[in-house]
Amino acid sequence: MSDLPAPGTVLCALSDLDATGAKGLNLGGTGIFVVRSGDDVFGYINSCPHIGVPLDMEPDEFISDFGNEIICSTHGARFRIEDGECVSGPCAGDMLEPVAVRIKDDQVVLA
């Protein structure tokens, strides 16, 4: 992930996650997304471990209808928000690649 900006780079406002619970971003040619779960925010490379496609077909649509899992819109694989592990689908047991993020002054920044 050497093409990602430096730690402390602002990715988005925390409020940008209110509508869908997640936000996709392109940083230095790398697609990532951030997702909120309660008071926590998690970041991942936007690539399904099954076939390498972006997880979202529609902008910022990464969360299942129940709001408790990340979902790959291509084939329905489901991932835990907290650690990116695939819990069902063709890549069960695989992991999304994490991107370290944190909240600072109501902004989501690279950690």
Percent of the chain residues topping a pLDDT of 70: 98
Residue 3 has pLDDT above 90, yes or no: no
Share the mean pLDDT of the chain.
Answer: 92
The whole-angstrom separation of Cα 77 and Cα 47 is 12
pTM: 0.93
Over residues 86-96, the mean pLDDT reads: 95
Which residues, 6+ apart, have CB-to-CB distance to 20 below 8 Å? 60, 61, 62, 63
The whole-angstrom separation of Cα 58 and Cα 24 is 10
Q: What pLDDT is attached to residue 24?
A: 96
Domains recognised in the chain with CATH numbers: 10-102 (2.102.10.10)
Percent of the chain residues topping a pLDDT of 90: 79
Residue 64: exposure state from Cβ atoms within 10 A (0-12, 13-18, ≥19): middle
Q: What pLDDT is attached to residue 88?
A: 95
Residue 1 has pLDDT above 60, yes or no: no
The whole-angstrom separation of Cα 11 and Cα 111 is 11
Q: What pLDDT is attached to residue 2?
A: 52
Stretch among 50-54, 56-60, 63-67, 72-76 having the lowest mean pLDDT: 63-67
